[in-house]
């Protein structure tokens, strides 16, 4: 269980959202086992994902390409944790970081430049200038 909160009850160790609850109530709910069966296995070894992997994605999240922590939306139904196909799609899209999350407008301004890329470009330019100065480029 999660950490103790006021009143002695445990806070849930997963990320439940109203959106996934409405999707489950609309009949789009999947158990974590069914959701795991619907996805290809990781690491190219064949087989299938474990439901525990989806539990981990809902409780501790996964890192996106940009390093953000992204969580699978889940809901508790009785004693079971469920998710939905749209929640899986949003999770996968969020891991990619290239597509804006569903229901949001794309950003109009370009992302901030990566300082590592700028440093590398400067180093490449100075190396090319040094080669030209020596008559090698």
Q: Each residue of 107-128: pLDDT tens digit?
A: 444 555 667 777 888 888 999 9
Q: Each residue of 54-75: pLDDT tens digit?
A: 999 999 999 988 888 999 999 9
- Categorize the per-residue pLDDT at 5 as very low, low, confident or very high, splitting at 50, 70 and 90: very low
| pLDDT at position 33 over 50 | yes
| pLDDT at position 10 over 80 | no
Indicate the burial class of 33 (C-beta count within 10 angstroms; 0-12, 13-18, 19 or more).
middle
């Amino acid at each position: 269980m999660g950490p103790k909160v006021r009143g002695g009850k445990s806070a849930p160790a997963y990320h439940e959202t109203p959106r996934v609850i409405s999707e489950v109530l609309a009949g789009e709910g999947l158990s974590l086992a069914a959701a795991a069966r619907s996805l290809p296995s990781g690491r190219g070894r064949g087989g299938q994902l474990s439901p525990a992997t989806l539990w981990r994605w809902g409780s501790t999240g996964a890192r996106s390409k940009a390093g953000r922590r992204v969580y699978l939306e889940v809901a508790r139904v009785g004693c079971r944790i469920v998710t939905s196909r749209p929640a899986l799609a949003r999770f996968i899209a969020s891991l990619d970081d290239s597509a804006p999350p569903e229901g949001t407008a794309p950003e109009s301004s370009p992302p901030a430049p990566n300082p590592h890329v700028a440093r590398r470009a400067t180093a490449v330019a100075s190396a090319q200038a040094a080669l030209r100065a020596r008559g090698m480029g």
